């Protein structure tokens, strides 16, 4: 039996174990996935554990995605550019750090037949999740990406950081409404609108009437399935997408890294749909 872990803090609420164990069982693979609560002070011990022979690797989530990078023996180019690791592969005691968030997001867009190529995009947020989504959008040849963030300096810094990969700039509050109206993809990468303590906060990261004239409004939030931003977009007749697809597909790409086998994504969707 091979072990796969999720390094998180706290770890209690994660639905990844359900998703991965359903997939392992479905294919009859001798793997088991388990969430490990690892405080920042215990990261080094957790890294030693990942090097043990019965461990195939791990996922990494908040707050460790950046911190684990220092412990890796090698890093994929994607992980380097995004500046975060969400997947670790144990290669005979050597740890390889990778990131499947960007490819997972792109795959979720493919599922609904939306290609970012040639599109003007407004991305809300400039945190860790934003870095992965921005990487995905530029790799998929979006024409231009405008980043809007509550703290505008962070949007500018993120745009600078990715300027070699494509046309990226910070959107200001003054031109935000018009910029959004003229884009074909609006994506929220912040946690604004997400269920907290069991309650749907019914808030949006932008004013309700800031919407594209055409195209897709995408949110990486999956609980609720229709946060306020998506409800507004739906009402305006726009296509919408919540974050469940990104969650499943980032997991599916990690699964492939540990097992060498394509993940049964339909089984993964089914296993967690009832939980969120």
Interface ranges with ligand ATR (CB under 6 A): 125-130, 149-151, 154, 189-192, 205
Active-site pick, 2, 65, 154, 256: 65
Q: Do 58 and 88 form a contact (C-beta atoms < 8 A)?
A: yes
Quick one: which H or E segment has residue 195? none
Write down the residue that tokens 């461990």 correspond to: 55
Q: Do 81 and 165 form a contact (C-beta atoms < 8 A)?
A: yes
Task: Report the residue number, 25 or 169, with the smaller CB distance to ligand ATR.
Answer: 169
Q: How far is the CB of 84 from ligand ATR (least distance, A)?
A: 8
Q: How far is the CB of 158 from ligand ATR (least distance, A)?
A: 9
Task: Report the residue number, 55 or 155, with the smaller CB distance to ligand ATR.
Answer: 155
CA distance from start to end of the chain: 29
Task: Report the residue number, 127 or 166, with the smaller CB distance to ligand ATR.
Answer: 127
Q: What is the DSSP letter of 116?
A: -
Q: How far is the CB of 132 from ligand ATR (least distance, A)?
A: 9
Q: How far is the CB of 47 from ligand ATR (least distance, A)?
A: 21
Would you call 65 a catalytic residue per the annotation? yes
Q: Do 270 and 9 form a contact (C-beta atoms < 8 A)?
A: no
For residue 272, which of 250, 187, 144, 123 has the smallest C-alpha distance? 250
Task: Report the residue number, 149 or 241, with the smaller CB distance to ligand ATR.
Answer: 149
Question: Which active-site residues does the annotation give?
Answer: 65
């Amino acid at each position: 039996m091979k072990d796969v872990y999720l390094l998180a803090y706290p770890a209690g609420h994660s639905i990844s174990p359900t998703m991965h164990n359903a997939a392992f069982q479905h294919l009859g693979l001798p793997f088991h996935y388990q969430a490990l609560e690892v405080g920042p002070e215990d990261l080094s011990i957790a890294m030693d554990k990942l090097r043990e022979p019965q461990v195939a690797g791990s996922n990494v989530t908040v707050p460790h995605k950046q911190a684990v990078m220092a412990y890796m023996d090698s890093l994929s180019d994607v992980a380097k550019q995004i500046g975060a690791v969400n997947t670790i592969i144990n290669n005979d005691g050597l740890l390889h750090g990778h990131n499947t968030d960007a490819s997972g997001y792109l795959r979720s867009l493919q599922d609904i037949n939306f290609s970012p190529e040639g599109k003007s995009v407004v991305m809300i947020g400039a945190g860790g999740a934003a870095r992965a989504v921005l990487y995905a959008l530029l790799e998929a040849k979006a024409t231009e990406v405008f980043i809007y963030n509550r703290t505008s300096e962070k949007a500018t810094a993120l745009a600078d950081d990715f300027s070699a990969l494509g046309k990226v700039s910070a959107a200001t509050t003054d031109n935000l409404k018009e910029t959004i109206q003229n884009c074909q993809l609006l994506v929220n990468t912040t946690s604004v609108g997400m269920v907290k303590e069991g309650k749907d906060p019914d808030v949006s990261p932008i004013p309700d009437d800031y919407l594209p004239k055409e195209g897709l409004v995408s949110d990486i939030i999956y609980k609720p399935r229709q946060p306020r931003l998506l409800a507004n977009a739906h009402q305006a007749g726009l296509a919408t997408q919540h974050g469940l697809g990104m969650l499943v597909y980032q997991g599916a790409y990690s699964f492939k890294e540990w097992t060498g086998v394509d993940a049964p994504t339909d089984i993964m969707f089914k296993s967690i749909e009832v939980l969120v």
